[in-house]
Amino acid sequence: MAEMSDVFFVDGMRTPFGRAGEKGMYWNTRADDLVVKAIIGLMERNGEVPKDRIDDVAIAATSQTGDQGLTLGRTAAILAGLPMTVPGLAVERMCAGAMTSVTTMGASIGVGMYDLALAGGVEHMGHHPIGGNADPNPRFVAEKLVDPGALNMGVTAERIHDRFPHLTKERADRFGMASQHKVQAAYEAGKIQPDLVPVAVKDAEGAWGLATEDEGRRPETTLEGLASLKTPFRPHGRVTAGTSSPLTDGATISLLAGSGAVKEFGLAPKMRMVSFAFAGVQPEIMGIGPIPSTEKALKKAGLTIDDIGLFELNEAFAIQVISLLDHFGIADDDPRVNPWGGAIAVGHPLAASGVRLMIQLAAHFAERPDVRYGLTAMCVGLGQGGSVIWENPFFDGKKKRK
């Protein structure tokens, strides 16, 4: 008989993230090959896991067409050399695609149907511009179900500024700059690199190279530089390229396991799933979505925000993260929040990003036995939020560090 099980994040890896577009390092690389590389890298690093025991492979992509089409979980599994007996599926919840891959596979493990699963996502925003192949139903606008601006994520970020005038452009700029500086410091300390799978890339002249680092970083960012940037989403607006996640190509993957598989294969999980939740909000201000999803996830876990020692929040836009911090009474520069920076600097390949947050939180947990619980959370297009709370297996019960 299948038994309920704990759900463990055993390990996660990702490709370096590239700038989307013709000048980006992955312009000549297929989207599916990015996630295939990530799967190969993760399975190599976890060689004790028999490939034929993987119960399912869930891969998310927002745009499920072309080199991101054809039931990515199945095709990527075959291309990565997993046995033909391993099934796979494709997942879609826009920016929370990979997060949904994890929660869906995690739930299947939790009820005892699966022992091991792979969960991740990919987005090649160069090959698949946001909303490029979508045909939104005219009723959305004709019946005023949502405002046309709700389909442009930058416009929804401007609306958060409108709604919360005390969350100023200056605060958002400072947050955007800090993200760049924190990512650079993390790179210099060698924190990010261990979880990256290098990817062979071909440039416009056909010369081969190797992608080993996130391409879009701007460590030289200053407040003065940010203050002068254009506001592409509204004339005289407040959201700029410096406070937005850039358009990005990249893939992520994680290995999840139940208690039985952890024991059977002697695995050393990096995190235990405590709870998860998704929530809907007004699409016009989609960036506040992780507030209610976090409240739901905390309630399910029987925790409060004060129990969370580390936050990995997806920086779709600076203002959107700041609105969550403000809601929970957390300072913009609280050291528990995105300690190694975030999506404003490394990029946000939509359906891949959820697992990047988890990879990063897992790396923190290993260094922070004083922290018991961590949160990964993100906003989602058309007005949603997603949150997953994790427990640190290295927690040693000591008092929280100040």
* Catalytic choice (95, 127, 161, 364): 95
User: What is the closest distance, in whole angstroms, from the C-beta atom of residue 36 to ligand COA in the complex?
Assistant: 24
> Contact with ligand COA (CB under 6 A): which of 154, 283, 289, 292?
154
User: What is the closest distance, in whole angstroms, from the C-beta atom of residue 228 to ligand COA in the complex?
Assistant: 8
User: Rounded to the nearest 5°, which phi and psi values hold at 245?
Assistant: -70, 135
Decide: 13 and 41 in contact? Cβ < 8 Å. yes
Decide: 386 and 96 in contact? Cβ < 8 Å. yes
User: What is the closest distance, in whole angstroms, from the C-beta atom of residue 242 to ligand COA in the complex?
Assistant: 4
HSE-CB at 47 with a 13 A cutoff on CA atoms is 2
Is residue 95 flagged as an active site residue? yes
- Looking at 74-82, 100-108, 138-146, 245-253, which segment touches ligand COA (CB under 6 A)? 245-253
The verdict on 129 binding ligand COA (CB under 6 A) reads no
User: What is the closest distance, in whole angstroms, from the C-beta atom of residue 102 to ligand COA in the complex?
Assistant: 19
The verdict on 245 binding ligand COA (CB under 6 A) reads yes
Between 40 and 79, how does the x/- string for binding to ligand COA read (CB under 6 A)?
Answer: ----------------------------------------
Q: What tokens appear for 389 in the block?
A: 């709370």
> Contact with ligand COA (CB under 6 A): which of 210, 225, 367, 396?
225
Q: Which is nearer to ligand COA, 108 or 245 (CB)?
A: 245
* Catalytic choice (124, 161, 348, 364): 348
> Contact with ligand COA (CB under 6 A): which of 16, 120, 126, 242?
242
The verdict on 374 binding ligand COA (CB under 6 A) reads no
Q: Which is nearer to ligand COA, 15 or 244 (CB)?
A: 244
Three-class SS string for the chain? CCCCCCEEEEEEEECCCEECCCCCCCCCCCHHHHHHHHHHHHHHHCCCCCHHHCCEEEEECCCCCHHHCCCHHHHHHHHCCCCCCCCEEEECECECHHHHHHHHHHHHHHCCCCCEEEEEEEEECCCCCCCCCCCCCCHHHHCCCCCHHHHCHHHHHHHHHHHCCCCCHHHHHHHHHHHHHHHHHHHHCCCCHHHECCEEEECCCCCEEEECCCCCCCCCCCHHHHHCCCCCCCCCCCCCHHHECCCEEEEEEEEEEEHHHHHHCCCCCCEEEEEEEEEECCHHHHHHCHHHHHHHHHHHHCCCHHHEEEEEECCCEHHHHHHHHHHCCCCCCCCCECCCCCHHHHCCCHHHHHHHHHHHHHHHHHHCCCCCEEEEEEEECCCEEEEEEEECCCCCCCCCCC
**C-alpha–C-alpha distance, residues 147 and 105, integer Å:** 34
Q: Which residues 259-298 are close enough to bind ligand COA by CB under 6 A? A: none
- Looking at 221-229, 264-272, 327-335, 389-397, which segment touches ligand COA (CB under 6 A)? 221-229
User: What is the closest distance, in whole angstroms, from the C-beta atom of residue 381 to ligand COA in the complex?
Assistant: 5
The verdict on 161 binding ligand COA (CB under 6 A) reads no
The verdict on 153 binding ligand COA (CB under 6 A) reads yes
- Looking at 59-67, 114-122, 223-231, 362-370, which segment touches ligand COA (CB under 6 A)? 223-231
- Looking at 55-63, 242-250, 297-305, 334-342, which segment touches ligand COA (CB under 6 A)? 242-250
- Looking at 84-92, 103-111, 240-248, 321-329, which segment touches ligand COA (CB under 6 A)? 240-248
User: What is the closest distance, in whole angstroms, from the C-beta atom of residue 215 to ligand COA in the complex?
Assistant: 11
* Catalytic choice (124, 127, 161, 379): 379
> Contact with ligand COA (CB under 6 A): which of 25, 34, 57, 95?
95
CA distances from 72 to 75, 78, 161, 291 (A): 5, 10, 37, 30
Active-site residues, by number, are: 95, 348, 379
Binding residues for ligand COA, per CB under 6 A?
95, 153-154, 180, 218, 221, 225-226, 229, 232, 241-242, 244-247, 316, 348, 381
